Structure 1
Amino acid sequence: MNEYPRLVSWSYYDGNNFFSGKKDKEFLTKVFITDPKGEEILKNGKVACLANVGLFDRARDPYFKITKQHGFTPRAKKHGELKYNMLKKHSDLKDKLSGIDSVILDYGDYVYINLAYIDNYVNSIVENNPAFYKKNFVFKEHFNVHFLKSLINYNPLTLIDRAPIKDYQSKNVPRLLMAVKNQFPELYKELLSVSDKAKEIDSQITYVGKSAKLSTLKPGKVELRLYFIEKGIFDWDGKQLSRETETYGKELISQIIIPKDDLVVIVKDDATVCETTVIVD
């Protein structure tokens, strides 16, 4: 029988700050499940408390929580004991979960949402809005056409001169619609039928250049990042990747790759994207 709270993932930082060159204290980040409703979310492998949405938001996950356990600097004799002890007890849980990297995600009783500017200081759309449980969580029963239209038509204002923050409409709204189209296709169709603005933006939406799980794409051309900065255009037939390329001796050879299910590629043609495609935003 499952226990709550229960450790479900952990990660380790050794204290070596690559950018500053400083020696910080090592620490463990532990993720605990606190509610039975989080069990289904565990299968997805992504949790809100690890998402990069700000320090204070990380503690507001309705189903999970994180704790930090600090140890010693790299110069100390006991440095590394934290990691050693965790590997001895919970090696199977190391880096098992990661943060949510998409704009929206079905999340138990909620829809996780990560849009910049929606809680700005001037005209926040989050404050006193019954649709929101917290900034990054919308009650699922409120995640409907009416709510989406309010996000599409929203114009957050700057603090000083009360001018519209242009990035929201030019970048955030298209990203939102792309995510809804991909994850909630039936709701998206309904939205297009009642919103001319959504319909206009939809005509300009493209997945080209976006990352996607290869196994969820239809056959066609995709781009695969190879060694370091090298990239290659491959033909995907639903089972394998293939291409013809020249050797240094100008000989033409065929290259075939049998990919793993979680391989991520770059979309090169919108025709390869379907309703079940998983876009890695």
Structure 2
Amino acid sequence: MDKINVNLYGGKSIFGGRETPLEAEMTYCDKYKNCSFYKQGKCFSAGRWQQNCKFGKKVRQKGYTSRALKYNDFRDKYRKDECYNKLDEPNNTIGKIEDTFVINVRYLHEKEGGGYKIETNIFSHPLIYINENDFKNELISLICDGKPRTFMDNAVIKDYQEKTVPRFLYELKTEFTDIYNRFITQYPEYREKQLNFIGRTAYIYSLRDGIELKSNYSDGAKFVKEGEYLKSTTNYNGSFMPFNAKEADIRLKIDKKMSVKITDNSMVDENTIFKD
């Protein structure tokens, strides 16, 4: 297996609590070259918040507290590793590793004896692994038709149909087009399923030209995307203007890491790449 990611955990608490020994966590995999998640800079075995991918392997190395002489050497060794913080944990609802589809849809569970079901289970959110030959339209329909309910009052969980299903269909359409086309041929009612991107975070460079973006800061400055730049559409005023100027037109060079929260579905087109 090749090493694909390194993370460091522990050390001094930012909240002033008790310091724990620094710990390095290395992720290894021999299928990453044929993994759609990895190609997007993601891996379920990177990080500690989600269930690990069954194809990955984690190795942990316990280090030292900052009082130890070897603390800096241990920390620097892993920070300088080419795989340090290389991968993020995915929020994708679907991906493929070699000939296996990985479904990350909350409430989807395997039934005892075979098959699948949509079920509310507050204690379990498993990754579902399905051989490509078994990934049929009927399963996609089951996911899209699901109406999970709350555990306490049995109310329909609206976010599933309003957010999860549209996201699943969008990822299916953009990443696995042949399967999406096969599905909507048999289930044409899903062709017009409203895709909702509001609330998601996308990379600005991948958004369509002409959209207007509002600054996250209190100044409320507005910018329009023009190719590789964001150009202010309102006179910008700030605390650090040269020559004590009161207003300025701003032109920002867009880099690959700049992102924005989607506030209108019209901001998105087929070229949009999401950060989340």
Looking at structure 2, the residues matched to 152 and 274 of structure 1 have their Cα atoms a distance apart, in angstroms, of 22
Aligned match of 2:139:
147
Unmatched segments (≥5 aa) in structure 1: none
Answer 1 or 2: which has greater helix percent.
1
Q: Call closer, same or farther: CA 1:79–1:46 in 2, change over 3 Å.
A: same
Looking at structure 1, the residues matched to 112 and 251 of structure 2 have their Cα atoms a distance apart, in angstroms, of 50
Q: Where does 1:128-167 land on structure 2 (aligned, <5 Å)?
A: 128-129=114-115, 135-156=127-148, 163=154, 166-167=157-158
Residue 265 (str. 1) matches residue 260 (str. 2): yes
Q: Call closer, same or farther: CA 1:218–1:236 in 2, change over 3 Å.
A: same
Moved more, 233-242 or 14-23: 14-23
SS in 2 for 1:105: strand
Q: Which amino acid aligns with 2:200?
A: K
Deviation of the 1:28 alpha carbon: 0.5
Tell me, yes or no, if the aligned pair for 1:182 and 1:276 is still in contact at 8 Å: no
Residue 61 (str. 1) matches residue 54 (str. 2): yes
SS in 1 for 2:3: strand
The superposition leaves residues 41-67 of structure 1 with CA deviations (integer Å, 9 ceiling, x where unpaired) of: 44432112126664xx31x432x3222
The superposition leaves residues 13-70 of structure 1 with CA deviations (integer Å, 9 ceiling, x where unpaired) of: 242233462212210111112x2x322444432112126664xx31x432x3222211
Deviation of the 1:149 alpha carbon: 0.3
Equivalences, count: 259
- From 227, 243, 261, the counterpart of 1:238: 227
Looking at structure 2, the residues matched to 197 and 257 of structure 1 have their Cα atoms a distance apart, in angstroms, of 43
Residue 101 (str. 1) matches residue 87 (str. 2): no
Q: Call closer, same or farther: CA 1:243–1:159 in 2, change over 3 Å.
A: closer
Looking at structure 1, the residues matched to 214 and 183 of structure 2 have their Cα atoms a distance apart, in angstroms, of 34
Aligned match of 2:241:
none
Q: Call closer, same or farther: CA 1:169–1:51 in 2, change over 3 Å.
A: farther
Unmatched segments (≥5 aa) in structure 2: 117-125, 239-243
- RMSD over aligned Cα atoms: 3.5
SS in 1 for 2:164: helix
- From 22, 27, 30, the counterpart of 1:31: 27
Looking at structure 2, the residues matched to 127 and 275 of structure 1 have their Cα atoms a distance apart, in angstroms, of 40
Looking at structure 1, the residues matched to 45 and 247 of structure 2 have their Cα atoms a distance apart, in angstroms, of 49
Tell me, yes or no, if the aligned pair for 1:222 and 1:233 is still in contact at 8 Å: yes
Q: Call closer, same or farther: CA 1:192–1:224 in 2, change over 3 Å.
A: farther
- From 266, 271, 276, the counterpart of 1:276: 271
TM-score w.r.t. length of structure 1: 0.74
- From 38, 49, 61, the counterpart of 2:45: 49
Q: Call closer, same or farther: CA 1:75–1:126 in 2, change over 3 Å.
A: farther
Identity of aligned residues (%): 20
Looking at structure 1, the residues matched to 129 and 112 of structure 2 have their Cα atoms a distance apart, in angstroms, of 10
